[in-house]
Structures are given as structure tokens and as C-alpha cells.
Amino acid sequence: MIKHKKTLESYRNIAPPGTLDLLYKLAERLKKRSLLHINSTRLGGGVAEMLHRHIPLFNELGIDTRWEIIEGSPLFYQTTKGFHNALQGQFHPITSQMYEEYTKINQRNSRKIDFSSELVLIHDPQPAALISKKRKKSKWIWRCHIDISRPQRRVWRFLREYVSRYDGAIFSLPSFAQKLDIPQFLIYPSIDPLSDKNKELSQQEINSVLEKYHIPKDKPLIVQVSRFDRFKDPLGVIEAYRIVKEYNDCCLVLAGGSATDDPEGEEVLKQVKDAASKDKDIFILDLPPDSNIEINALQRSASVVLQKSTKEGFGLTVAEAMWKGKPVIGGAVGGITVQIIYGETGFTVNSVEGCAYRIRYLLNNPEVSRRMGEKAKEYTRRNFLITRHLCDYLAMMISVLKL
Amino acid sequence: MEEFTFKGCIEIKELLGKQAADEMKLLEMIEEVPSDSIYYHTHSYFLRHYYIAGPYPNDFANWAAIQVRDRVLGEKLAVVTPWGDKNLEDIRSELMEIIDSHLSETKNISFVVYGQPFYFMKSRIIEVPTGVTVQNLKQLRDALRLIDASAIYNHIFEARLRVRRRKSDFSIWLEDILGRKELAGNIEKIDAYMYSLEGLRQKILQLCEQELRK
């Protein structure tokens, strides 16, 4: 169950000085304007999680904000899952029947939704075809949350027909920009510092999580939190740990989500378990999706946090760890390069050896590590908190509505 | 007495969908992109880096040095500071001359091997009143401690370049309204391109404290 009783004022002493006042002033220009968000689910996934937090805050700011979802069929979801994979660069065949189902479901939903808002924000490809209901006076923006830096051309050509009719698009990274004749805005995603995954925890709460998983408290912890997915390179993390272990006694925690619905995930998890062999200092935790407190505690217990991805969308686990004052060593890909300022808030690396070297460096230089962690926290405060995200949305709305 | 009204700002970042993977392409694109893009990659660099200044004070220099690993071009581009009487077209010309001259001195065109291409962006700044006004130096100092850092950017960088004021808003008010010519002059002497916004905040605060102690 998601709890959402935080008001904007709850963030006053967390956001940078002056941010909340700036947000209120910005919102004055949008008072009584109406905003409609549309996506494909209210539960599960990062977009729904974000909307649950954003919508009450938009309303608190005086913007009349609603949230609608579209309802699909199994074939529709199969199609949009295919779109998702194809747009992220994986080959995925889409039949003409699937394209037809996509259009049909969007048409059916368009008859049920009230589109009277001045600004309509459509999230991801699933409801993109609703653009056919755009009224002359309203402005429509397509918010793309996925990595479309190298999309499968046929799927993108199909989707572009709809996207090009919008008044603008929002992407999460510069590399996701497309050749489009509409304005393309850059808005980074964000973390909520008051959510269970990021809120302050007492030492007792942290200890209870470590005890629950039998993780020793007397050795430095190296932690990577991510799905068991090849692109997150968990096997590379184990290799790097083994190199470090020759010099420094430490433990490795690989904490990931449940892989039951992902056949490839299960395979990767098995490989990771095999690679860990019987090393008693490697902890592989296959956590259920609501393990937010556990993830929070593990990140807070870490001496070094890794996100050694070889391909990544934005990778918000980096900002989560940075918010907890941890230096992060991450693969030099996707949004990780935006979050980690090399040598300042952590290190980006390109190889197992590079990763191992930087882990050793941080373990042996605790003062450097502490200073980097402090900078990482401040950098996150400025750039990756929900308050900055809201400011960006309001600025975009002011620009699009020409206020 | 005329008050000083703090105004913050927020940047709307737009992607141009254009990129360069080598230094020749970078040169071509610098010639072609709108001036708002030159602004984004030189000026508003400071707005995006409140605490941590990168190795060099503009995106072009950092890209050449870090992504292309051409430290020489990185260092040469780092000296382009959009200060003084330069407008965005002057800055564009200066960047182009440096890259052109660098390319004529090197046999091969350096390109990205392991790094990322240069993604061209542009920005628009929206001014936002903070609701904070001050009437004397003490109040200015107190407000400076707490104001959103974007107000520092707006009154120093934005005032000079886009609004084309001859000095920072702080210096104009201190000199014209409070008659504190020396303090205004000292603020003008700060090499703003050598500081992050937080560093700049501290530097101005330090000068105000010195003046108040007199």
C-alpha cells in the first residue's frame, strides 16, 4: 500500500534553501489551470509510483490535476510490452494485428476519458494514440520515460506519427532526443526523500535488516541494488569483488527484485548464485517488490555502492544511494554519467578492473569517501529530488501554455 | 529608498536532437545551432552546477577533455569565458576559431571512442520573483544567505548577458542606491567563472561582511 500524506511543507527543510518558495511563486502563474495525466496503470512500475506522489502536490500548488488510466486487452499489453522492448533497442516482432489492437484500444479509451483539461500529459507509448482527441485550445505533451536512444525503426516510425502531433515531448536524457519538429524538453526523473526507500532510518532499523539477512556488521559492505539482469552486470560485480577481496576483507550484497515473471531474470539469478559459489561473504537477496525499507537499510549500511550497469536508462538507484551520502561507482552509461561527477560524487568505470580499483581506493581512503558522499548528497539535493522535478514540470507548463 | 528585489530563475531545457561525435562535427554544429544553444552550453552551465564546478567552465571544453580525451582542445576551449561585452555571437565565433585553429594543427580529427557524443541543447530562462526584498546592506547579506542559488545566477550572469546590463544587479544597486561604490567595485572584480554558485554566494557574503565591519 502506498502512503501519500506528505504536503509540500514536509520538504521545506530537505530541499535546498528557497526552493519551496520558488515553487510556490512559479505555481502562482498556473493557479486554476487544469492538468490531466494519462498512463496505463495505477499500480506497479515507476510511472505510477511517481504519479501517486506528484498529483497531490500539483493540486496543493493550486493546479487542478486529474489522473486517468487506459484499459487494454491482453493483446494490447502484449503489443505495448513489445513496443517498450523495441523502443529500447531489442528486436521484437509486432504483427499488423497488434498494431490494429493498439489503435483500437486507444480509440475505445478515448471515448471514456474527459479531455477537457488545458494541458494533457500522456505518459509512455501505451496511450500515445489518444492524441486524436486533442482539442484546438488544449496543449498535449508526450512524456517518454524509457530509453529510446536506439529504437527499432519500424516501431518508432509507427509511434512517431502520433508523437509528432503533440505540442511537445519530454525525455529523461539528452541521448534520448529524436528528430522531431516539436519542442523536446529535458526533465530528469527524481527520488522522493520521504518515501520508505529514502527516508532516514534509525540504527536499530538498519541493524534489524542486516540481522534478518545475516549480514555481518564488522566488515565493509559493497552493495549493488538492481534487478538480476545482464545489463546490470551482476557477474562483473562479483568479479570486481573477488579482485578487491585479495586486498581488503569485505562483504558483497547483490539485492534485486523478484525474477519470477522474467525467464531471463531467473537464468541470470542462477548464474549469479553459481558465480558466488559458496563464498560466505556474498549475499544474494532476491527481494519482493515492496522491500523498500530493506533496500534503504542496505544502501545506508554500505561503504561503497555500485551500479555497474553496461546499459542503463536513468538508473535512479544511483541518486538513492547518493542521497544517503554514499559515493557510487557506476558504469559509464546512460543516466549514470549525469548523476556521478567523476572524482567528485563517485566514479564512473568502464571495466571490472576499473571497478575493483575504485572500490579499493574508497575502502582505503575513508575520509575521501566521506567527503565524496557529502558532495553526492548535496548534488542529489539540488538535482534529483522531487521538488526539482516539480519545478521543471511547472516551468515546462508555463512555456507550453505561453503564460 | 529603492528596494532590491531578489528574483530567482528556472531554466527550461530543450533538446535539439543534434549531436557531434568528432571535433569537426562539433565545429559544424556550433556554427549551425541557435544562439540559445551557445548560451546553454556556456552560461547556464553555472546554473546547473550549484556546488561542483566541472574541470572546465563550459560544456564544450569538458566534452573535448573528458569524452574525446583531447585535453589540449579542452584547455583551449576552457578559456572562453562569456564575460565583459561579448554577446552570444562573439562567443560562437571565438569557439569556432579555437576549434578551427586546433584542427588545422592536428593531423587527425579526434573523435569519441569510449565516451559520449556531444548532445546539443538550448535553454530558456524564466525569471521568478522570490518575494524577498531588502533595503540596506545588512538585509542584503541576511537574504543572500538563504536565497535560492538561482537568484545569484539571475542577478550576476543573466543580468549581464541576456539583459545586457553593464554590471551585476547587486553592484548596480549597491553603487546607485546605497552609494557603496567600493563594495560594488569589489563584487565586479570577482572572476565569477571561477566559482560555483555556492562559491559565489560565499564570496559575495564575505565582501558584504567586510563592508559591514568598517
Over the stretch A41-93, which tens digit does the pLDDT of each residue have?
887 777 888 899 999 999 999 999 999 999 999 999 999 988 988 998 888 88
Whether the per-residue pLDDT at A2 is higher than 80: the answer is no
CB A72 within 8 A of CB A137: no
Tell me if A158 is assigned to some domain.
yes
Q: Is the pLDDT of residue B197 over 90?
A: no
pLDDT > 70: percent of chain A: 97
Do A174 and A217 fall within a single domain? Answer: no
pLDDT for the residue A27: 95
- Judge: B52–A337 Cβ closer than 8 Å, yes or no: no
Q: Do B131 and A337 touch (CB under 8 A)?
A: no
* pLDDT, position A348: 93
Q: Is A117 left (phi over 0), alpha (psi -120 to 50) or beta?
A: beta
pLDDT value of residue A66: 97
Interfacial B residues in 131-160 facing A (CB < 8 Å): 131, 146-151
A95 in a structural domain: yes
Q: Kindly state whether residues A240 and A358 are assigned to the same domain.
A: yes
Contacts of A392 in chain B (CB under 8 A): 10, 12
Residue A156 sits in a domain whose CATH number is 3.40.50.2000
The C-alpha atoms of residue A288 and residue A44 are separated, in whole angstroms, by 13
Q: pLDDT digits over A353-390, tens only?
A: 999 999 999 999 999 999 999 999 999 999 999 999 99
CB contact under 8 Å between B147 and A18, yes or no, is yes
| CB contact (8 A) between residue B15 and residue A379 | no
Does A287 share its domain with A210?
Answer: yes
pLDDT at residue B134 is higher than 50: yes
Residue B74 or A47, more confident: B74
Which stretches of A86-162 are assigned E, i.e. beta strand?
119-123, 139-143
Residue A1 domain-assigned?
no
Closest CA relative to residue B12, chosen from B117, B172, B123: B123
Q: Quote the pLDDT of residue B86.
A: 79
Q: Which of A18, A177, A392 sits opposite B15 (nearest CB)?
A: A177
Q: 3-state DSSP call for residue A120?
A: strand
Residue A195 belongs to a domain? no
Disruptive mutation site among A22, A30, A171 for chain B (greatest number of B CBs within 10 Å): A22
Domain count, chain A: 2
Candidates B14, B114, B128; nearest CB to A183: B14
pLDDT value at position B167? 86
Residue ranges making up the domain that contains A266: 203-383
Summarize pLDDT for A298-333 with one digit per residue, the tens: 999 999 999 999 888 888 999 999 999 999 999 988
* Of residues B12, B15, B147, nearest to A395 (C-beta): B12
A95 and A30 both lie in a single domain? yes
Following DSSP, what letter does each residue of A85-106 receive, concatenated? HHHTT------HHHHHHHHHHH
What does the pLDDT read at residue A128? Answer: 97
**A98 and A178 inside one domain:** yes
pLDDT digits (tens, 9 = 90+) for A153-206: 999 999 999 999 999 999 999 999 999 999 999 999 999 999 999 999 999 999
Whether A389 and A379 map to the same domain: the answer is: no
Using alpha carbons, select from A301, A303, A298 the residue that is nearest to residue A284.
A298
Q: Given B10, B17, B146, which is nearest A26 (Cβ)? A: B10
Residues B97-112, mean pLDDT to the nearest whole number: 92
Contacts of A47 (CB under 8 A, 6+ apart): A39, A41, A123, A124, A145
Chain-chain contact of A395 with B11 (C-beta, under 8 angstroms): yes
Q: Where does the pLDDT of residue A258 fall: very low under 50, low under 70, confident under 90, or very high at 90 and above? A: low
A198-244 pLDDT tens trace: 999 999 999 999 999 999 999 999 999 998 888 899 999 999 999 99
What does the block give as the cell for A129? 494514440
CB contact under 8 A, A379 and B150: no
Residues A162 and A236 in one domain: no
What is the structure's pLDDT at B182? 96
Looking at the complex, report in whole angstroms how far the Cα of residue B124 sits from the nearest Cα belonging to chain A.
9
Q: Is B114 on the interface with A (CB under 8 A)?
A: yes
Residues B12, A177: C-beta atoms closer than 8 Å: no
A291 located within any domain? yes
Residues of A whose CB is below 8 A from B146: 17-18
A280, pLDDT greater than 80:
yes
Do A58 and A80 lie in one domain? The reply is yes
In this structure, are A241 and A327 located in the same domain?
Answer: yes
pLDDT score for A277: 85
Question: Mean pLDDT throughout B167-176?
Answer: 94
CA-nearest residue to B51 within chain A is A379
Give the pLDDT of residue A251: 98
Model confidence, pTM = 0.89
- CB of B118 less than 8 A from some CB of A: no
Provide the pLDDT for residue B166. 76
Determine, for residues A179 and B119 on separate chains, whether the beta-carbon distance falls below 8 Å.
Answer: no
Query: Between A243 and B146, whose confidence is greater?
Result: A243
Residue A246 has pLDDT above 80, yes or no: yes
Query: Which of B7, B13, B48 has the most A C-beta neighbours within 10 Å, making it the best mutation to test the interface with A?
Result: B13
Indicate whether A149 and A179 sit together in one domain: yes
**Residue A259: predicted pLDDT:** 44
Which pLDDT does position B55 carry in this prediction? 74
A336 in Cβ contact with A311 (< 8 Å): no
Whether A3 maps to a domain, the answer reads: no
Same domain, residue pair A126 and A65: yes
Model confidence at B209: pLDDT above 50: yes
pLDDT band at A292 (very low <50, low <70, confident <90, very high): very high
